[in-house]
């Protein structure tokens, strides 16, 4: 399944966040995994290139090639797609994370 199709499905899927929360999809390279902060770092392609921190909670669904993952299973350097919402403080909260392949 192509990444564009996956992005459309993830964006259209209902989220558990409040209706006023801003929901969006981030696509990039997984550059950091923090077990202490329960977060991942996503490097987005520019312009300008930047790194976004996404918090991972107990309700976050993570998978790679159809297999479920835990935060401790994630490895940097892979392509990542995150469907997330922003809370009132602007913190990105991951709802669904999909990993697969090397970034382009």
Task: Tell me what pLDDT residue 5 has.
Answer: 44
Assigned domain for 66 exists:
yes
What per-residue confidence (pLDDT) applies to 11?
47
- Residue 84 belongs to a domain with what CATH number? 2.40.50.320
**21-30, 34-43, 47-56: range with highest mean pLDDT:** 34-43
Asked whether 74 and 40 are in contact (CB, 8 A), the reply is: yes
pLDDT of residue 2: 52
Query: What pLDDT sits at residue 49?
Result: 85
Residue 88 burial by CB count (10 A; 0-12/13-18/19+): exposed, middle or buried?
exposed
Q: How many domains does the chain have?
A: 1
What whole-number distance in Å separates Cα of residue 47 and Cα of residue 86? 21
- Hunting for tokens 């930047």 — which residue is that? 50
Burial class (CB in 10 A: 0-12, 13-18, 19+), 6: middle
Which tokens go with 17? 């966040």
Would the pLDDT of 67 be above 70?
Answer: yes
Give dist(CA 15, CA 85) in Å, integer: 8
Q: Looking at per-residue confidence, does 4 or 98 come out higher?
A: 98
Domain residue limits at 92: 3-99
Q: What is the mean pLDDT of residues 77-104?
A: 89
| 104 within domain boundaries | no
Confidence at residue 98, expressed as pLDDT on a 0 to 100 scale: 96
């Amino acid at each position: 399944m192509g990444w564009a199709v996956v992005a459309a499905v993830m964006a259209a899927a209902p989220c558990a966040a409040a209706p006023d929360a801003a929901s969006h999809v981030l696509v990039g390279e997984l550059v950091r995994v923090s077990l202490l902060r329960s977060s991942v770092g996503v490097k987005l392609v520019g312009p300008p290139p930047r790194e976004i921190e996404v918090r991972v909670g107990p309700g976050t669904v993570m998978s790679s090639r159809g297999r479920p993952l835990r935060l401790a299973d994630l490895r940097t350097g892979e392509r990542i797609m995150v469907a997330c919402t922003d809370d009132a403080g602007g913190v990105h909260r991951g709802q669904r994370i999909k990993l697969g392949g090397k970034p382009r």
